[in-house]
Amino acid sequence: MSATPSLWSRWVRRLDHREPATGLALLRICMGLVLFMEVGTVWWADLIDVLWFGIDDGGYRPAGTTGSWLIKRLGGPSPAVIYGLIATALVGASGLVLGVLPRVAAFLGLQAFLALGWNNVHAGGSYDPLITNILWLLVLADSGSTGSVTAWRKTGRWWPDTQALAWPRYLVVGQMVTLYTSTGLQKVSATWVPGGDLSALYYILQQPTWQRFDMSGAAWVFPLTQLVTLLTWIFEVGAPILVLAFWYRATSTRPGRLRAWFNRVDLRAIWLGFGAVMHVGIMLLMDVGTFSLVCLASYFCFFHADELRRFPVLRRWLPPPNPPETGFPRTA
């Protein structure tokens, strides 16, 4: 028999790769905060009864119209059921932020968020599946191995380099690449694609549904909005290049001019830098809920733990590895 490892054995070995779960831990904390915001903003606006109760309890829709199987099993969207789900979501959010039974916390937060979202689909956002997908990945991932109460109790350190499977981090990256690519491919109107008038962003900023404040004075920067429209479209449809960049960084010792160029010019950092500026701009100018926060939280998973320690903002919170980690890959 050939001594060359089979494709299956190489695949298993790749999936068995372990690393400090720093990126997943930061994602977990951010998703806990997102859950707090998703539920808390409805509470703060005093809209719980209007949006989620049945019509007999102060809501605007009959109780039988709920699309949540869980709420139906619990007897319908009564105040007791809704407040029970809200409490469950908040317990899950707390567990995620603190890292207490994080997989259980992610599951509780996921089920409560799904139930509340399906209870009234008109009160949610198109980014809700992104939130639930990431929560499900946190159910699968060992995100509590570092940056958590669980890690502190086991090791006496908040950010130990306890080894965890890396593939959930790769799935987060894959999900974001899929999200951006599919979004870009759906922008097929002449207002988005090169050759058209690139007016999409300008018109979005004029819609009261999206704008945070009156943007009628934006006409004088119309050429700038055209440029940003074009760059956004290129950013989204060009997302698959990240997969190639990750592969070349993971196999940096192999020969090849293209591989060497990819490792010399960090397209990943350039791409994510533009994405960060884009999402901050969205948060400042548009009211799209927590979408940008979820996307930015996922960016932590685009970096290995050693790379995250180099960020000035994170350096004071993330101690150097102890002991130094060995193994593939440190920068992918």
pLDDT at 332: 53
Asked if residue 28 is part of any domain, the answer here is: yes
Give how many domains the chain has, as a whole number: 2
| Widest distance between CA atoms in the chain | 73
Q: pLDDT by residue (tens digit) across 23-37?
A: 999 999 999 999 999
Q: Are residues 232 and 252 in the same domain?
A: yes
Q: Tokens 């070995």 label which residue?
A: 13
Q: Are residues 93 and 235 in the same domain?
A: no
Q: Are residues 221 and 105 in the same domain?
A: no
Given pLDDT bands bounded at 50, 70 and 90, which one contains residue 328? very low
Given pLDDT bands bounded at 50, 70 and 90, which one contains residue 325? very low
Q: pLDDT by residue (tens digit) across 146-166?
A: 999 999 999 888 998 888 898
The residues, any chain, with a CB within 8 Å of residue 168's CB and separated by 6 or more, are 24, 137, 138, 140, 141, 142, 143
> How far is the CA of 201 from the CAs of 193, 217, 252, 295, in angstroms?
12, 14, 39, 19
Domain boundary among the residues 115, 137, 161 is at 161
Contact assessment for residue 228 and residue 203, using Cβ atoms and an 8 Å cutoff: no
Q: Are residues 138 and 282 in the same domain?
A: no
Q: Which two tokens stand for residue 182?
A: 């599919």
Q: Are residues 176 and 273 in the same domain?
A: yes
pLDDT at 327: 39
SS3 at position 156: coil
Residue 271 domain boundaries: 166-311+327-332
pLDDT at 162: 86
Q: Are residues 181 and 156 in the same domain?
A: no
How many residues belong to the chain?
A: 332
Domain boundary among the residues 119, 142, 161 is at 161
Instruction: State how far the Cα of 166 lies from the Cα of 326, in Å rounded to an integer.
Output: 14
10 versus 259: which is more confidently predicted? 259
Asked if residue 269 is part of any domain, the answer here is: yes
Please check the confidence at residue 305 and state whether its pLDDT lies above 50.
yes
Q: Are residues 58 and 127 in the same domain?
A: yes
Q: Which two tokens stand for residue 259?
A: 């591989």
118 versus 320: which is more confidently predicted? 118
